[in-house]
């Protein structure tokens, strides 16, 4: 099950290789999740102006666009 993303990034050094490895593992796990069966039906609007059905779909999209972030809970209006 997907959980809401953290709004803060933790950085311990200038080397991001460890962070990228962790994100790669997380994203490979998320890729196997069927987001359509999630009990979470709260929509989220993201910085790409797309509305995601739930946080799981958003997290999958964020794995392909690490600059993607949440704008607000609910549908995008534009």
66 and 19 Cβ atoms separated by less than 8 Å: no
pLDDT for 46-55, tens place per residue?
A: 999 999 999 9
Structural domain boundaries in the chain: 40-78
Cα torsion for 38, 66, 69, 63, to the nearest 10°?
-10
Which pLDDT value is given to residue 8? 39
The CATH code belonging to domain 40-78 is 3.30.60.30
pLDDT for 15-34, tens place per residue?
A: 677 767 777 888 998 889 99
Q: For residues 59 and 40, what is the distance between their CA atoms, to the nearest angstrom?
A: 13
Q: For residues 37 and 10, what is the distance between their CA atoms, to the nearest angstrom?
A: 31
CA 22 to chain centroid, in Å, comes to 14
14 three-class SS: coil
């Amino acid at each position: 099950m997907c959980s809401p993303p953290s709004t803060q990034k933790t950085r311990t050094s200038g080397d991001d290789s460890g962070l990228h490895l962790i994100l790669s593992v997380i994203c490979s796990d998320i890729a196997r999740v069927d987001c359509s069966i999630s009990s979470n039906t709260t929509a989220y609007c993201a910085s790409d102006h797309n509305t995601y059905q739930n946080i799981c779909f958003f997290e999958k999209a964020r794995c392909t666009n690490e600059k993607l972030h949440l704008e607000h809970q609910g549908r995008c209006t534009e």
